[in-house]
Amino acid sequence: MSPTQDRPELTAAEWTLIQELRSLPDEALRTRMQASMRELLFFFRTPKCQGIGIEGFPCGDPRSSCEDCHQIWDMLDKVAERTRKG
């Protein structure tokens, strides 16, 4: 394996995230967090629902309902706000 494959170039924030994930004390918690992160990353890459968007046309490839998308975005906004306050 080449050196770049052994240790890819990551930003400080990416390394911090990896270290924080690895420091979770319980294997079941790590597994749950990894699954949640995969879903969250999918959502950010493809924020689409089954309904009609605000612009009046379909959002695209359906994976969740419009209400689900809005609830997720609202919850992410609340989490971000708590982070800024903390």
Residue 5 falls within a domain, yes or no? no
- Answer whether residue 9 shows pLDDT above 50: yes
Q: 1: pLDDT confidence band, cut at 50, 70 and 90?
A: very low
Residues 52 and 80 both lie in one domain = yes
C-alpha to C-alpha distances, 73 to 9, 31, 38, 41, 45, nearest whole angstrom: 30, 23, 16, 13, 13
Q: Say if residues 24 and 32 touch (Cβ distance below 8 Å).
A: no
Residues 41 and 51 both lie in one domain = no
Of 51, 46, 56, the closest CA to residue 67 belongs to 51
The DSSP secondary-structure symbol of 58 reads: B
pLDDT of res. 83: 76
- CA angle 86–13–17, rounded 5-degree value: 80
Name the pTM for this structure: 0.56
Percent of the chain with pLDDT over 70: 69
Q: Say if residues 43 and 72 touch (Cβ distance below 8 Å).
A: yes
Residues 23 and 58 both lie in one domain = no
- Amino acid type, 77: D
Q: In terms of residue numbers, what domain contains 33?
A: 10-45
